Amino acid sequence: MNYHQIEKDIQHLEHVITRMLQLDRMPFPLSYWRSRIDTLETVLASGLYPSHSLRVQRLREALSR
pTM: 0.85
Residue 1 pLDDT greater than 80, yes or no: no
pLDDT for 16 beyond 90? yes
Nearest to 56 by CA among 42, 33, 37: 37
Burial of 33 per CB tally in 10 Å (0-12, 13-18, 19+): buried
| Interval 18-50: pLDDT, tens | 999 999 888 899 999 999 999 999 988 887 777
